A and B are shown apart, each in its own frame.
Chain A
Amino acid sequence: MNPGTAVTYHDHGPEQGRGFIGFAKRWLYTTNHKDIGTLYLLMALLNFFLAGGMALLIRIELFQPGHRFLDPNFYNVMTTMHGLIMLFGVIMPAFTGMANWQIPMMIGAPDMALPRLNNWSFWLLPFAFLLLLSTIFQAGGGPNFGWTMYAPLSTKYAPPSTDFMIFAVHMMGISSIMGSINIIATILNMRAPGMTMMKLPMFCWTWLVTAFLLIAIMPVLAGAVTMMLADRHFGTSFFEAAGGGDPVLFQHIFWFFGHPEVYVLVLPAFGVISEVIPTFSRKRLFGYSFMVYATLCIAILSFIVWAHHMFTTGIPLGAELFFMYATMLISVPTGIKVFNWTSTMFRGSMTFETPMLFAVAFVFMFTFGGLTGLMLSLVPADYQYQDTYFVVGHFHYVLVPGVVFALMAGAYYWLPKWTGHMYNETLGKWHFWLSTISVNILFFPMHFLGLAGMPRRIPDYALQFTNFNQIISIGAFIFGFSQLLFAWNVIKTIRGGVKVDDRVWERISWARVDTEFTSALSFI
């Protein structure tokens, strides 16, 4: 293959025609991995503000005790939608977008392995989310049983719009399974010559493992919601005790999906952090092979810990002990990762540009969220924490200053390479410090509320919880509005700014320029 054809690979995809039709066709028909990555990322950003707005509605209601602003049923709809959209509409598509942009370039491939499948897996999503959002406006209100959809709340007592949610979940599942197949095929089949598996950038490794997790669990979720649908309309009794079924069975099936799902969200974040920290420490990633095996280890362990979400359902003592120890075991590979990131920074020539700030904050606050997770894994203690704000505090620490911060780190890190423009560093620093301070005001007091006995998913609370709830709500609003700085910064960077080339960070670092950005040319 001559170098000339290789160059055109990166510019393929449909030409932009004239007018709106031309514009729509360009984005609807595109098979270019960068275009599709952009679409994923923009949709994730839009959903981030949508689901974030729902969280702010929740916090408005909880600013004062009593039923103040929202109808209780609408409050429940908001918690359900916030959870579903943040998971399936923000974190997962955002990482898929980053994977679409980065993986082909990182492994020296001209594009994703299956470009048409790639197009389809993106374009299913906007329709899935429109279907999901339409439920809010339907008679009887949207789904109001929490993102965990426990039967019989989601079968017998659910509003009619639940069926729309079920089909939306099916579509999201199909989309992420197709995306995963594409990523696996790209990484396994299209690496540049000489790039062995143990030379893959960490981001590709974590995504490879994530993709396998998705293929293993999304069909199980699809099965669970299909059984829900059958119980609702076809007279089956999978989860209906009157017909010989068992509602606890739903929780087993759901968490068999749900726990690995947690790692689907967090493993790509580990990948991003493992890219950002070495760059700004000017050192190689410490313990690369340990990182790879730790990722695999976490993925395998994630399948045998699901019942730690169900300690209080009356499962036998032996099972409680098994799931408790298995859960605690996960902290070993996770600890290896945290240790390796810290060791990468140790004696490095560190600078603190915005991506690095977010990455360091990730390491610190994700570890904090992990430690409260360890507390929750203890069966005797879990009986106190179960279904309180302690749990809410725990998983938000893992997902917001954890995963969302990793998304921010990745976005700031790669934005100059994607757009060719430098983002505004001052604005980035403002965004970081406002987010970091407010995220702690927002989620830290939740732990104390939980320990004091404030339950989850209730639109009201006892008087003595008022102060802390007000602090939380104020933190929530500062955090929410600080994210507008990010949106503004992204839009500004896309539209213009100081020009940079593809070695933007490498100018200040030793860098892996060759493997990452010129490989498509140099290896073929």
Chain B
Amino acid sequence: MRKSQHRRLLILLSFLTLGMFGFGFALVPIYNSLCKTLGINGKIELTKAEAANPLDIDQKRRIEVEFVASNNNTLQWFFYPKTSKVMIHPGETAKLEFYAENKTNHRMIVQAIPSITPGIAAKYLKKTECFCFQQQQLNGHEAMNMPLIFHVDPDLPENVRTITLAYTLFDVTDRLS
């Protein structure tokens, strides 16, 4: 009788182990969808362009939007915003450019990954056009101005007065070629 008892427990606990192994991997989509739906962690969708700005401009509020650019690891590029910050009304469209220059001798493909602080503001910052929507490619010593068009949703919580939009440039040449 003991043998069958042991066997039952062994099978049960093995399934629990496998289940928890699966759960470890399930944490990845759980985390991503939680971050997306709750709008926490400053994550925004990479490729989704919003429709052009249909919103009324809220003249009473002014939001400061700051821009930060950095390179991942030791990427040999110049990468910086040509305007470091703008003051806009919610609903107002802002257009600016980031400068990028490939300092190496060879062709490189990069991907810019945005991050927004405070995290809660990620949902309210709408981009109509962004260089982060697709990979950017430059030959050696080539340079370009990359456009960014966005507006801030008037539903932005009252306590948010400053939004920081940070871009990190990642080298994805190896992954694509």
Chain A residues with a Cβ under 8 A of chain B? 113-114, 156, 177, 180-181, 184-185, 188-190, 215-224, 227, 235, 238, 241-244, 246, 248-249, 252-253, 256-257, 314-316, 319
B6 on the A face (CB < 8 A): yes
**Majority-rule SS of B interface residues:** helix
Q: Is the beta-carbon distance between A314 and B168 smaller than 8 angstroms? A: no
* Given known contacts A113-B6, A181-B13, A184-B9, A246 and B21 CB-to-CB distance under 8 angstroms: no
User: What would 8 A/B residue contacts be, using CB atoms closer than 8 Å?
Assistant: A181-B10, A217-B20, A218-B20, A219-B20, A220-B20, A222-B24, A241-B168, A315-B40
Q: Find chain B residues with CB under 8 A from A243 CB.
A: 172, 175
Q: Is the beta-carbon distance between B9 and A316 smaller than 8 angstroms? A: no
Question: Chain B 6-32 against A: per-residue CB contact (8 Å), 1 yes, 0 no?
Answer: 100110011011111111110110011
Q: Is the beta-carbon distance between B24 and A223 smaller than 8 angstroms? A: yes
B21, closest chain A residue (CB): A219
Q: Is the beta-carbon distance between B9 and A188 smaller than 8 angstroms? A: yes
B6, B72, B119: residue with the most chain A Cβ atoms closer than 10 Å: B6
The residue that A216 contacts in the complex, of B16, B31, B32, with Cβ under 8 A, is B16
Q: Is the beta-carbon distance between B6 and A220 smaller than 8 angstroms? A: no
B128 on the A face (CB < 8 A): no
CA distance A252 to B32 in the complex (A): 12
Instruction: Give min CB distance, A127 to chain B, whole Å.
Output: 21
Q: Is the beta-carbon distance between A220 and B41 smaller than 8 angstroms? A: no
B60 on the A face (CB < 8 A): no
CA distance A181 to B23 in the complex (A): 19
Q: Is the beta-carbon distance between A235 and B9 smaller than 8 angstroms? A: no
Question: 14 extra interchain contacts, Cβ-Cβ under 8 A, other than A249-B28, A315-B41?
Answer: A181-B17, A189-B2, A189-B5, A215-B13, A215-B20, A216-B20, A218-B20, A220-B23, A222-B21, A223-B23, A227-B25, A227-B28, A242-B111, A316-B41
CA distance A91 to B105 in the complex (A): 54
B113 on the A face (CB < 8 A): yes
Q: Number of B residues contacting the other chain (C-beta, 8 Å)?
A: 40
B80 on the A face (CB < 8 A): no
Q: Find chain A residues with CB under 8 A from B20 CB.
A: 215-220
Q: Is the beta-carbon distance between A224 and B24 smaller than 8 angstroms? A: yes
Q: Is the beta-carbon distance between A185 and B9 smaller than 8 angstroms? A: yes
B23, B24, B38: residue with the most chain A Cβ atoms closer than 10 Å: B24
**Majority-rule SS of A interface residues:** helix
Q: Is the beta-carbon distance between B41 and A314 smaller than 8 angstroms? A: yes
CA distance A235 to B35 in the complex (A): 23
* Given known contacts A241-B113, A314-B119, A256 and B13 CB-to-CB distance under 8 angstroms: no
Q: Is the beta-carbon distance between A246 and B14 smaller than 8 angstroms? A: no
B46 on the A face (CB < 8 A): yes
CA distance A435 to B18 in the complex (A): 42
Question: Chain B 106-149 against A: per-residue CB contact (8 Å), 1 yes, 0 no?
Answer: 00000101000101100000000000000000000000000000
The residue that B24 contacts in the complex, of A113, A114, A253, with Cβ under 8 A, is A253
Q: Is the beta-carbon distance between A219 and B24 smaller than 8 angstroms? A: yes
Q: Is the beta-carbon distance between A223 and B172 smaller than 8 angstroms? A: no
Q: Find chain A residues with CB under 8 A from B98 CB.
A: none
Q: Find chain B residues with CB under 8 A from A181 CB.
A: 9-10, 13-14, 17
B170 on the A face (CB < 8 A): yes
CA distance A95 to B149 in the complex (A): 60
Q: Find chain B residues with CB under 8 A from A253 CB.
A: 24, 27-28
Question: Chain B 57-75 against A: per-residue CB contact (8 Å), 1 yes, 0 no?
Answer: 0000000000000001100
B151 on the A face (CB < 8 A): no
Q: Is the beta-carbon distance between A189 and B6 smaller than 8 angstroms? A: yes
Instruction: Give min CB distance, A241 to chain B, whole Å.
Output: 5
CA distance A235 to B176 in the complex (A): 11
B153 on the A face (CB < 8 A): no
Instruction: Give min CB distance, B70 to chain A, whole Å.
Output: 12
B92 on the A face (CB < 8 A): no
- CB-contacts of B163-177 with A (<8 A): 168, 170-172, 175
Q: Find chain B residues with CB under 8 A from A219 CB.
A: 17-21, 23-24
B91 on the A face (CB < 8 A): no
The residue that B41 contacts in the complex, of A177, A184, A221, A248, with Cβ under 8 A, is A248
Q: Find chain B residues with CB under 8 A from A114 CB.
A: 6, 10
CA distance A114 to B24 in the complex (A): 27
Q: Find chain A residues with CB under 8 A from B172 CB.
A: 242-243
Q: Find chain A residues with CB under 8 A from B32 CB.
A: 246, 249
Q: Find chain B residues with CB under 8 A from A241 CB.
A: 72, 113, 168, 170
Question: Chain B 39-61 against A: per-residue CB contact (8 Å), 1 yes, 0 no?
Answer: 01111001000000000000000
CA distance A245 to B35 in the complex (A): 12
Q: Find chain B residues with CB under 8 A from A222 CB.
A: 21, 24
CA distance A301 to B35 in the complex (A): 23
Q: Find chain A residues with CB under 8 A from B16 CB.
A: 215-216
Q: Is the beta-carbon distance between B170 and A249 smaller than 8 angstroms? A: no
Would you list the 8 A-B pairs with minimal beta carbon distance, nearest first?
A223-B24, A242-B170, A219-B21, A219-B20, A220-B24, A181-B13, A316-B40, A189-B5
* Given known contacts A215-B17, A220-B21, A246-B43, A185 and B27 CB-to-CB distance under 8 angstroms: no
Q: Is the beta-carbon distance between A238 and B170 smaller than 8 angstroms? A: no
Q: Is the beta-carbon distance between B120 and A316 smaller than 8 angstroms? A: yes
CA distance A319 to B46 in the complex (A): 25
Instruction: Give min CB distance, B140 to chain A, whole Å.
Output: 21
Q: Is the beta-carbon distance between A184 and B31 smaller than 8 angstroms? A: no
Instruction: Give min CB distance, A335 to chain B, whole Å.
Output: 30
* Given known contacts A216-B16, A241-B72, A314-B41, A185 and B111 CB-to-CB distance under 8 angstroms: no
